[in-house]
Amino acid sequence: MDEIGITQADTLNSSLPHEIREKVYSYLTAKELCVVSFVSKSWREQANTNHLWLHHCMVRGWMKFGLTHELTNHQSSSSTLTTYITGTSPVFIFHVPKETTLQPICKWKLIFIKAHHLKVNWEKGRYTLAPILRGHKERVLALDCDGHTLVTGSSDKTVRIWELCTYKCRRTINIHSDAITAVKIKGEIFVTGCADSTIHVFDLYTANLRLTFQGHSDSVDFIEFNGEIIVSGGPDKLINVWNLQEQVLRHTLRGHTDEITCLSFHDGLILSASWDSNLILWDVQLGKAMHTLRGHREAVNCCQFDVMRAVSGSADCTVRVWSLLSGRCMKVLEGHSGEVYCVTYNNDIIVSGSSDSTVRIWSINGEPQYTLEEHLGVVRCLHIDNQRLISGGDQKKIVIWDYKNGKKLNVVHRHPTLLHLMWVNDTKLITASPEKPGTITVLSYW
């Protein structure tokens, strides 16, 4: 725009009352706000206000990035790490000329820019590959992460604590007498389940053993932990509820007639699934079953629930949606030709992964929407958030999807190992290999 045009634009901008200008700008999209910022200095300053950009962050679910988050508190990934990309580096670099006379970019506009950069990294497959985490002599059976510290358990009877800022193993714990089959982190504590039937409670930072619980007669394959209550289950068909502060076994829940295959725990409720083809909803406080969910014809492999509904996947090739108020099956989702190994859902959709190599997306009401075909072999892991769907399966494949239209965004072609465990947050994707010696792969999208 020439000087005359800029002067006219500034005159137009200044001729309107401040309240009217603010109202007009509030109707602009994020892209339009960026465009008007190029018109003139005064237009740029008008568009550079927190309340405008806070709104655009809010509608995209990016408010969390303005609070305590890696995007706010940490630099982007080191460019010295190996980069696997289909464009440019995922590293965020924001250059401001020293001689500028413009006001600094407001907080929420900068957060928007960073969050958008992160979103594009996931969509375009721009990530850095950390050095492969090696140390376990046998396969990795369990992992959990809080975003900064990773804890892994292995068939080699050791637990390893890794720092994600350095990708180094900080501690190795050797006190278990058998394979570590479950790991769960909460705050400053992590809990392990072991094939020798014990449960150990450790300090996350010092790795000191705090407590040991024993109440199972077989391997502890599943651990859920909310900071106060530990829930454990495994092949002995029992579910034990432990009070960490009181250091006692509060309840032993009996109801399943075969091995426990899945546990989920929140808001004072436990949902358990079993080889006996049933799910049971338990009240933690009372230690009693509220509903037994019957309908699957074979083992239930996976489940997820909230206060209103549960979703389960089974070896009978179906997904079922249950009402937790009545305990009745509301919908049977049919379409898979193989066992369903993983399920997840949000407010809009239900997603299932199967040994038939497909990922299926259903509406929250159970209507089929998309069948996603990219995997070879079993689809073992799913993750969903308000931005994307991530599926992991055999043959080293991890696929990033736009679940709103069923389109593939990208495939992590160069994932270096097979995978059977996956952990995902906003900026990182961590997987463990089923092979031995056990290895862990960390991909950073920031």
DSSP letter, residue 247 = T
**Could you tell me the fold of the domain covering 129-444?**
Methylamine Dehydrogenase; Chain H (2.130.10)
Quote the CA–CA distance of 239 and 229 in Å, as a whole number. 13
Quote the CA–CA distance of 311 and 323 in Å, as a whole number. 9
Segment 150-179, tens digit of pLDDT: 999 999 999 999 999 999 999 999 999 999
Closest among 420, 380, 411 to 122, alpha carbons compared: 411
Q: Other CB atoms closer than 10 Å to residue 26's CB: what's the count?
A: 12
Domains 3-91+103-127 and 129-444 share a fold: no
DSSP letters for 135-164: --SS-EEEEEE-SSEEEEEETTS-EEEEET
395 pLDDT above the threshold of 80: no
pLDDT band at 67 (very low <50, low <70, confident <90, very high): confident
**Average pLDDT, integer, range 400-426:** 88
What's the pLDDT score for residue 424? 97
341 pLDDT above the threshold of 80: yes
CA atoms within 13 A on the CB side of 300: 32
223 pLDDT above the threshold of 50: yes
The domain spans of the chain are: 3-91+103-127, 129-444
Pairing of strands 340-345, 329-333: unpaired
- CATH tag for 3-91+103-127 (out of 2.40.50.140, 3.30.720.200, 1.20.1280.50, 1.10.10.10): 1.20.1280.50
Segment 69-127, tens digit of pLDDT: 667 665 565 544 554 444 557 877 777 777 777 889 999 999 999 999 999 999 999 99
Proportion of the chain above pLDDT 70, given as a percent: 91
Of 4-18, 367-381, 418-432, the least confident: 4-18
Average pLDDT, the chain: 91
C-alpha distances (whole Å) from 169 to each of 134, 136, 443 are 9, 11, 17
Proportion of the chain above pLDDT 90, given as a percent: 77
- The pTM of the full predicted model, rounded to 2 decimals, is 0.90
Closest among 213, 129, 168, 133 to 398, alpha carbons compared: 129
383 pLDDT above the threshold of 60: yes
Quote the CA–CA distance of 189 and 120 in Å, as a whole number. 34
Quote the CA–CA distance of 180 and 29 in Å, as a whole number. 51
Quote the CA–CA distance of 164 and 142 in Å, as a whole number. 17
**Average pLDDT, integer, range 410-435:** 87
Give 31's contacts (C-beta < 8 A, 6+ positions apart): none
3-class secondary structure per residue, 165-220: CCCEEEEEECCCCCCEEEEEEECCEEEEEECCCEEEEEECCCCCEEEEEECCCCCC
Point out which residues pair with 358 in neighbouring strands: 373
Segment 187-217, tens digit of pLDDT: 999 999 999 999 999 999 999 999 999 999 9
DSSP letter, residue 43 = H
**Average pLDDT, integer, range 339-360:** 97
Determine contact, residues 432/135, Cβ cutoff 8 Å.
no
Determine contact, residues 332/311, Cβ cutoff 8 Å.
no
149 pLDDT above the threshold of 50: yes
What's the pLDDT score for residue 80? 45
